Structure 1
Amino acid sequence: MSPTLKRRRDASTPCPATSADGSTCPASSGIGSGPQNPFKYGLPRGSAVIVLNDPETKVPIAIMDGTLISAIRTGAVTGVCAKYMAPSRSKTVGLFGAGPQCKTQLMALKASLPQLEKAYVYDPSRERAEKFAAEMSQKLNMDVQAASDRLATIESGDILVTATTATEPIIHGAEIKKGVYVAHLGNNEVDEGLILRADKVVIDDWETDKHRMDDTMAYMFRDGKIDDSRIDASVSDLVARRKSGRDNDDQLTYTCNVGLGLYDVAIAARVYQYAKENGIGQKLKLWDEPIMV
């Protein structure tokens, strides 16, 4: 792999967003990533805070934890994509990473594709993989097992999901058989060969991805190895039926969902409205009177 593909695993990512018509609260979501947090401090790898602002005055109206929102919305996007990109015969899922993100990925996939019967999870820590398998088997009433190794996970899945902090590829295009759907959540977990070999490539937002420059496809674009024509559709294209996903069960399909601030805003606005209607949360006073007007 080219040295240019390597990146830091610890990062802080600002995600500002608002709706085009101004009907949704403008907001900012700050997401921090500390890969060693679970092991050294007993904290989540990713943490986030969302600040919602009034659509008219832009004054802050809510501050909320965004860690769970971010995890669930990322899983939800994969679940939506699977409707269009997974093979119709899908029965098994191969998961890379035994952290919270793969939990929401599997939850969303099972909700989207109820016919799924079995999942295999691979993690460098066998203990974490077995704990994940036991928890998710009970939660989803599904057969979830700790995989023996990386290749066994690849060979097991009709759907493969990567949700790790890897800085080197853990999935190589030459290893993937036709008919599989690969859901890549960012970083450099897949090699360039997979991007070039895929029959269909879908991303949440290509312009945003190129700007963020933190995954395999973005670096390939920067280095002149692919151009805009490599992208077949966006997630919104699939949902709006502007473009098609998988055309047949023999295709190798691939999505890259690194995340959009817009997802956080949409969900946070709903959470805020629900909290108001049900008396959840507490009021914070920013000032008695504004000091400067």
Structure 2
Amino acid sequence: MTYPAPAITYLDSTDVERLSADLPIVERAHETLLAYGRKEAGLTPEAALRWTTRSGAAARSLILPGWSGDSYGCKIINASLGNHLLGQPRAAGLIVLNDPETARPVCIMEGGRISALRTAGVSLAAVRAVRDPAGITRVAFLGCGRQAEVHRELLAAVCPGVEELFLYDQDTERARELAARWAASAPRARVTVSAGAREAVEQAQLAIAVTTTTDPYVELDWIPAGGTFVNVSLDDAAESLLLGCDHLFVDDWDLVVDDDHRLLGSLALSGRISGPGTRAPEGGRAVDAALPALFAGDYHRTVGADERVVINPFGMGVQDIALAAVVHERALALGVGLRLKG
């Protein structure tokens, strides 16, 4: 029996943006986490290479293998904290998809857009699970880079009633430029550049942190009653917020525990925070639920209107593979991409 060697399709950033333009990203993120909870999707430990660039910036390359249904592959995502000074996005990379029968690579695609979309998709799927999206009118963004733009892109459909956007970035000019673009593209929402991070967070029902900081700074008393804080980036949420919020959700507890670079992982390793379904340590707390359980309806505590919620997604490569597989299917159907010899 012979099995034809599959050609390799290469999709550049333009191809990926075109093919993903009208995909239901938030629904895809939701369904993938449900599949993960049912063991119909999964991942293996990531590999990390870290270094310091010649300019002194922290850089790293991560390889995240994962599978979803019959789709298998890995994401290679690289980042340097100094990229914004060079006019480049913080992160860029590739996604490689494999033939499920032969394990040969069948697709290589630019990974930055996929990574940004799946990150924002998970964030907003989680927000939708704990709050009424129709009631969210005031949103703050900490950090004004690519992730802020993609989160705002998806937010427009999930929370169509947003009336005010508060932006903060340590680079004030960057925040002003983003505010001008958003004001021009969505004139019904007022866009304000805040003088400080606290000012932005205190005014918002939903705050989304998409920065590059490694120094926690957002305290519990910054979050208004009924506020939701999405800690997308490494370490914006301070210990007081992680330990003191009314509800704390993560995407995968094992990933949190395995990473001591983030405060939540450090708190877990020191015995201050324990996993979902466990007894809270003395003087600490337990994570309330992982997102697959939350989405499946297995979290039975009511999220009160005045309670503070923290959503701390670590970032799961399985999401990238699931989304990339749909993009690849579209590429084959439409004849998009460059065919390479295997």
TM-score, with length taken from structure 1: 0.89
Deviations 1:30-69 (A, max 9, x none): 11111111212x2211011000001111110000001001
The answer to whether the 8 A contact 1:200-1:245 is kept is no
TM-aligned CA distance change 1:246 to 1:113, over 3 Å: farther
Equivalent position of 1:261 in the other structure: 317
Distance 2:125 2:195 in 1: 29
Deviations 1:4-30 (A, max 9, x none): xxxx853222110013xxx33210101
The answer to whether the 8 A contact 1:84-1:245 is kept is no
Q: 2:190 aligns with which of 122, 126, 143?
A: 143
Equivalent position of 2:334 in the other structure: 278
1:81 and 2:137 aligned: no
TM-aligned CA distance change 1:84 to 1:100, over 3 Å: same
The answer to whether the 8 A contact 2:273-2:287 is kept is no
Q: 1:120 aligns with which of 161, 166, 174?
A: 166
Distance 1:123 1:102 in 2: 11
Per mean C-alpha deviation after superposition, the further-off stretch among 223-232 and 93-102 is 223-232
Per mean C-alpha deviation after superposition, the further-off stretch among 126-135 and 227-236 is 227-236
Distance 1:242 1:149 in 2: 38
Deviation at 1:82, TM superposition (A): 1.1
Deviation at 1:114, TM superposition (A): 1.4
Counting aligned pairs with the same residue, the percent is 27
Deviations 1:86-142 (A, max 9, x none): 366421011100101011122223321212211111001111001111222333443
Equivalent position of 2:61 in the other structure: 12
Give the match's secondary structure for 2:92.
strand
Question: How many equivalent residue pairs?
Answer: 275
**Counterparts of residues 155-174 of structure 1 (less than 5 Å):** 155-174=202-221
Per mean C-alpha deviation after superposition, the further-off stretch among 83-92 and 223-232 is 83-92
Distance 2:83 2:92 in 1: 10
Equivalent position of 1:175 in the other structure: 222
Distance 2:72 2:96 in 1: 9
TM-aligned CA distance change 1:73 to 1:139, over 3 Å: farther
The answer to whether the 8 A contact 2:140-2:166 is kept is yes
CA-atom RMSD in angstroms: 1.7
Give the match's secondary structure for 1:70.
helix
The letter for the 2-side match of 1:240 is: A
The letter for the 2-side match of 1:116 is: V
Q: Which protein has the bigger strand share?
A: 2
Equivalent position of 1:235 in the other structure: 291
Give the match's secondary structure for 1:207.
helix
Structure 1 segments, 4+ long, off by >6 Å, are none
Equivalent position of 1:192 in the other structure: 239
The answer to whether the 8 A contact 2:167-2:193 is kept is yes
Distance 2:139 2:340 in 1: 44
Equivalent position of 2:93 in the other structure: 48
Q: 2:104 aligns with which of 25, 45, 59?
A: 59
TM-aligned CA distance change 1:246 to 1:83, over 3 Å: farther
Distance 1:162 1:13 in 2: 21
Equivalent position of 1:251 in the other structure: 307
Per mean C-alpha deviation after superposition, the further-off stretch among 61-70 and 101-110 is 101-110
The answer to whether the 8 A contact 1:87-1:249 is kept is no
Per mean C-alpha deviation after superposition, the further-off stretch among 264-273 and 30-39 is 30-39
1:107 and 2:153 aligned: yes
Per mean C-alpha deviation after superposition, the further-off stretch among 176-185 and 139-148 is 139-148
Distance 2:336 2:222 in 1: 49
The answer to whether the 8 A contact 2:58-2:82 is kept is no
Q: Which runs of 5+ in 1 are unaligned?
A: 1-7, 287-293
Equivalent position of 2:16 in the other structure: none
Equivalent position of 1:215 in the other structure: 262
Equivalent position of 1:289 in the other structure: none
